[in-house]
Amino acid sequence: MNVVLPVRTISTTHFTGAIAAAGAAATAHLTVASGAVPEGLAAGRTVRSRLKSIRILSVQLLPWEVQLFHKATGIGGAVIDSETFIGTWAFTGSGTPGDGSRATGDTFYCFYVDGLDVPYEDLDGTGQIHVRLINRHAATAKIAGASGAIVIEFGFELSTGRP
Protein backbone atom coordinates (compact mmCIF):
# COMPACT_ATOMS: atom_id res chain seq x y z
CA MET A 1 0.00 0.00 0.00
CA ASN A 2 1.34 3.42 -0.97
CA VAL A 3 1.66 6.11 1.68
CA VAL A 4 0.36 9.59 0.86
CA LEU A 5 1.65 12.30 3.17
CA PRO A 6 0.06 15.73 3.59
CA VAL A 7 2.10 18.85 2.88
CA ARG A 8 0.15 21.79 4.23
CA THR A 9 0.81 25.50 4.12
CA ILE A 10 0.29 27.40 7.36
CA SER A 11 -2.14 30.31 7.17
CA THR A 12 -0.08 32.49 9.52
CA THR A 13 3.21 31.77 7.71
CA HIS A 14 2.55 31.23 3.99
CA PHE A 15 0.64 33.51 1.60
CA THR A 16 -0.18 35.98 4.41
CA GLY A 17 0.07 39.14 2.32
CA ALA A 18 -2.33 40.65 -0.16
CA ILE A 19 -2.19 39.35 -3.73
CA ALA A 20 -3.41 41.86 -6.30
CA ALA A 21 -6.01 40.87 -8.88
CA ALA A 22 -5.48 39.94 -12.53
CA GLY A 23 -2.70 37.37 -12.28
CA ALA A 24 -0.56 38.63 -9.41
CA ALA A 25 1.26 35.89 -7.53
CA ALA A 26 3.05 34.98 -4.32
CA THR A 27 5.61 32.20 -3.86
CA ALA A 28 6.35 30.00 -0.85
CA HIS A 29 9.11 27.46 -0.27
CA LEU A 30 7.62 24.89 2.11
CA THR A 31 10.03 23.33 4.61
CA VAL A 32 10.23 20.85 7.46
CA ALA A 33 11.31 23.69 9.79
CA SER A 34 8.09 25.62 9.12
CA GLY A 35 6.03 22.52 9.89
CA ALA A 36 4.67 22.26 6.34
CA VAL A 37 6.68 19.28 5.04
CA PRO A 38 6.76 15.96 6.96
CA GLU A 39 10.25 14.70 7.90
CA GLY A 40 9.69 11.43 6.04
CA LEU A 41 9.01 13.23 2.79
CA ALA A 42 12.03 15.52 3.06
CA ALA A 43 14.46 12.68 3.92
CA GLY A 44 17.46 12.85 1.63
CA ARG A 45 16.60 16.51 0.93
CA THR A 46 15.10 15.75 -2.50
CA VAL A 47 11.39 15.29 -1.67
CA ARG A 48 11.13 12.58 -4.35
CA SER A 49 7.44 11.93 -4.56
CA ARG A 50 4.31 12.00 -6.69
CA LEU A 51 1.62 14.64 -6.30
CA LYS A 52 -1.76 12.94 -5.89
CA SER A 53 -4.16 15.68 -4.74
CA ILE A 54 -4.57 19.37 -3.94
CA ARG A 55 -7.00 20.78 -1.39
CA ILE A 56 -7.54 24.47 -0.68
CA LEU A 57 -9.43 26.13 2.17
CA SER A 58 -9.91 29.85 1.57
CA VAL A 59 -11.69 32.66 3.38
CA GLN A 60 -12.29 34.38 0.03
CA LEU A 61 -14.04 32.88 -3.00
CA LEU A 62 -11.48 33.71 -5.69
CA PRO A 63 -10.27 31.84 -8.78
CA TRP A 64 -6.92 30.39 -7.66
CA GLU A 65 -4.11 28.87 -9.68
CA VAL A 66 -1.49 26.72 -7.95
CA GLN A 67 1.89 26.04 -9.59
CA LEU A 68 4.76 23.77 -8.56
CA PHE A 69 8.44 24.17 -9.40
CA HIS A 70 11.56 21.98 -9.02
CA LYS A 71 13.74 24.81 -7.62
CA ALA A 72 13.52 28.04 -5.64
CA THR A 73 15.05 29.80 -8.63
CA GLY A 74 13.66 29.69 -12.15
CA ILE A 75 10.17 30.77 -11.16
CA GLY A 76 8.73 33.31 -13.57
CA GLY A 77 12.12 34.50 -14.75
CA ALA A 78 13.21 36.03 -18.03
CA VAL A 79 15.20 33.02 -19.33
CA ILE A 80 13.00 30.18 -20.57
CA ASP A 81 15.79 27.58 -20.27
CA SER A 82 16.13 28.37 -16.55
CA GLU A 83 12.46 27.77 -15.70
CA THR A 84 11.79 24.83 -13.36
CA PHE A 85 8.01 24.66 -13.86
CA ILE A 86 6.33 21.31 -13.12
CA GLY A 87 2.61 21.91 -13.43
CA THR A 88 -0.36 24.17 -12.83
CA TRP A 89 -3.87 23.59 -11.51
CA ALA A 90 -6.70 26.10 -11.86
CA PHE A 91 -9.64 26.45 -9.50
CA THR A 92 -12.26 28.78 -10.99
CA GLY A 93 -14.10 29.53 -7.77
CA SER A 94 -17.42 28.60 -9.36
CA GLY A 95 -19.02 27.73 -6.03
CA THR A 96 -19.73 24.15 -7.13
CA PRO A 97 -18.62 21.13 -5.05
CA GLY A 98 -14.82 20.90 -5.08
CA ASP A 99 -14.42 24.32 -6.70
CA GLY A 100 -15.06 26.88 -4.03
CA SER A 101 -18.18 25.45 -2.47
CA ARG A 102 -19.24 25.83 1.14
CA ALA A 103 -22.24 24.81 3.18
CA THR A 104 -24.54 27.45 4.58
CA GLY A 105 -22.96 28.81 7.73
CA ASP A 106 -19.46 27.51 6.95
CA THR A 107 -16.57 29.95 7.15
CA PHE A 108 -14.26 28.66 4.41
CA TYR A 109 -14.57 27.88 0.72
CA CYS A 110 -13.36 24.39 -0.26
CA PHE A 111 -11.48 23.52 -3.45
CA TYR A 112 -10.24 20.02 -4.32
CA VAL A 113 -8.73 17.97 -7.11
CA ASP A 114 -7.46 14.38 -6.99
CA GLY A 115 -6.50 11.66 -9.43
CA LEU A 116 -3.17 13.39 -10.06
CA ASP A 117 0.08 11.50 -10.66
CA VAL A 118 2.72 14.19 -11.10
CA PRO A 119 6.40 13.47 -10.32
CA TYR A 120 8.02 15.95 -7.94
CA GLU A 121 11.66 16.34 -6.97
CA ASP A 122 13.39 19.26 -5.24
CA LEU A 123 16.37 19.78 -7.54
CA ASP A 124 17.89 22.31 -5.09
CA GLY A 125 18.42 19.47 -2.61
CA THR A 126 16.96 21.61 0.19
CA GLY A 127 14.03 19.35 1.09
CA GLN A 128 11.56 22.03 0.04
CA ILE A 129 8.40 22.17 -2.02
CA HIS A 130 8.27 25.28 -4.21
CA VAL A 131 4.74 26.66 -4.67
CA ARG A 132 3.32 29.70 -6.41
CA LEU A 133 -0.24 30.92 -5.76
CA ILE A 134 -1.85 33.12 -8.42
CA ASN A 135 -4.99 35.20 -8.01
CA ARG A 136 -6.88 34.96 -11.32
CA HIS A 137 -9.77 37.25 -10.37
CA ALA A 138 -10.03 40.20 -12.78
CA ALA A 139 -10.86 42.80 -10.12
CA THR A 140 -10.69 41.44 -6.55
CA ALA A 141 -7.42 41.15 -4.62
CA LYS A 142 -6.63 38.56 -1.98
CA ILE A 143 -6.80 40.35 1.36
CA ALA A 144 -3.79 40.26 3.72
CA GLY A 145 -3.98 38.56 7.11
CA ALA A 146 -6.79 36.47 8.58
CA SER A 147 -9.47 38.07 6.36
CA GLY A 148 -7.73 36.58 3.32
CA ALA A 149 -6.33 33.42 4.90
CA ILE A 150 -5.69 30.43 2.67
CA VAL A 151 -4.34 26.94 3.31
CA ILE A 152 -3.17 24.64 0.52
CA GLU A 153 -2.71 20.94 1.28
CA PHE A 154 -0.93 18.66 -1.17
CA GLY A 155 -1.11 14.88 -0.99
CA PHE A 156 2.34 13.53 -1.89
CA GLU A 157 3.03 9.81 -2.32
CA LEU A 158 6.50 8.68 -1.35
CA SER A 159 8.70 7.52 -4.23
CA THR A 160 11.89 5.52 -4.30
CA GLY A 161 14.54 6.42 -6.83
CA ARG A 162 13.66 8.91 -9.55
CA PRO A 163 10.02 10.08 -9.47
* pLDDT (tens digit per residue) in 10-47: 999 999 999 999 999 999 999 988 888 888 777 777 78
The end-to-end CA distance of the chain, in Å, is 17
Q: Are 128 and 30 in contact (CB under 8 A)?
A: yes
Distances (CA, A) of 79 to 69, 83, 85, 129: 15, 7, 12, 22
Cα 23 to chain centroid distance, Å, stands at: 16
At residue 53, the pLDDT reads 97
Which H/E stretch holds residue 4? Answer: strand 4-8
Percent helix, strand, coil in the chain (nearest 5)? 10, 40, 50
Mean pLDDT value across residues 40-61: 88
DSSP state of 141: P
Which H/E stretch holds residue 39? Answer: helix 39-42
- Go through the domains of the chain in sequence order and give each one's CATH number: 4-158 (2.60.120)
pTM: 0.92
98 has a pLDDT exceeding 80: no
At residue 56, the pLDDT reads 95
Above pLDDT 90, what percent of the chain? 63
At residue 1, the pLDDT reads 63
